[in-house]
Chain A
């Protein structure tokens, strides 16, 4: 969406606050021994308290409120009462929701407890790359240049990017134009970021894979060459200068 009136900015701020606060609280709440279903239920209660609804459920019929993916699961993992979190797990939580007709999206990967499996370097790279990408977005910047930046920063650190997932426009629905904000330079993409547009910028930084495939459950995605992936995501408003980070409250950069 493009923000043209104050009520639209206020609406987006409220929806973004709901998803950001929920992500932050879910991240704090996650503990070894807990099931991903318990974690999802906790997030669902917070979103409900805001009056917000699960965006993946509303849009796609996702069987849960939030996507929770563990270790080799890259994204879109289904909350389950059989999936138990363990110390050192690489956990990804993606919270997107609708509130009063406005939609916001954010996500983050983190290491649960002690980093016994050495995932923190991947997580830190993803966080830093998202920050660099967002710092370089303003009206008029070519979308593919941000893709180049993300892939280049990943390569410098010995990582790869997932090429069939990307950020997207957001605001009046979960996925809207501009779509396919990819993590690499697509030389055929001549589009530019537009001032006042709302977009969800996401990193998909991986250890070995470059594509994500869907498991038989129809939702969970894993790497085509295995390994691990870290994702971090903010909903932002593009301006002439630094973007307004609507989901800054989520604390993924802390």
Chain B
């Protein structure tokens, strides 16, 4: 099951009860990525000179 890039960049734990062993994201967010968000994030990463991709949730 593919890892999706989330467009809303928010924590799921504020809205949903997830099993303890679940990944820390909401599937609805997980599925709903848009190109613009990805590009925005990359631009932010470049600006911050971050050496790694930040998890987008």
- The answer to whether A and B assemble together is yes
Closest-CB distance, B22 to chain A (whole angstroms) = 4
Q: A167-B3, A180-B3, A188-B53 are in contact. Are A60 and B22 (CB under 8 A)?
A: yes
B31 engages A186 (CB within 8 Å) = no
Q: A186-B53, A211-B33, A211-B34 are in contact. Are A61 and B27 (CB under 8 A)?
A: yes
Chain A residues closer than 8 Å to B1, beta-carbon distance? 55-56, 67, 75-76, 94, 96, 105, 107, 174-175
Compute how far the CA of A211 lies from the CA of B34 in the bound complex, rounded to whole angstroms. 7
Chain A residue with Cβ nearest B22: A59
**Max chain B Cβ within 10 angstroms of own Cβ: one of A76, A173, A180:** A180
B3 engages A58 (CB within 8 Å) = no
Size bracket, chain A contacts: 35 or more
Is A164 on the interface with B (CB-CB < 8 A)?
A: yes
B23 engages A167 (CB within 8 Å) = no
Is A62 on the interface with B (CB-CB < 8 A)?
A: yes
Is B45 on the interface with A (CB-CB < 8 A)?
A: yes
Chain B residue with Cβ nearest A75: B2
Chain A residue with Cβ nearest B45: A188
B2 engages A165 (CB within 8 Å) = yes
**Max chain A Cβ within 10 angstroms of own Cβ: one of B21, B42, B51, B55:** B21
Size bracket, chain B contacts: 20 to 34
Chain B residues closer than 8 Å to A180, beta-carbon distance? 3, 5, 53, 55-56
Chain B residue with Cβ nearest A176: B23
Interface of A is mostly: mixed
A62 engages B53 (CB within 8 Å) = no
Is A11 on the interface with B (CB-CB < 8 A)?
A: no
B50 engages A188 (CB within 8 Å) = yes
Chain A residues closer than 8 Å to B32, beta-carbon distance? 213-214
A191 engages B53 (CB within 8 Å) = yes
Closest-CB distance, B37 to chain A (whole angstroms) = 9
Partner of B3, one of A62, A165, A188: A165
Chain B residues closer than 8 Å to A189, beta-carbon distance? 52-53
Closest-CB distance, B57 to chain A (whole angstroms) = 9
A-facing residues in B5-38 (Cβ within 8 Å): 5, 18-19, 21-23, 25-28, 30-35, 38
B31 engages A166 (CB within 8 Å) = no
B-facing residues in A144-180 (Cβ within 8 Å): 163-168, 172-177, 179-180
Pairs across A and B, CB under 8 Å, 16 listed: A58-B19, A58-B22, A60-B30, A164-B35, A164-B38, A166-B3, A172-B21, A173-B21, A189-B52, A190-B51, A210-B35, A211-B34, A212-B4, A214-B31, A218-B27, A219-B31
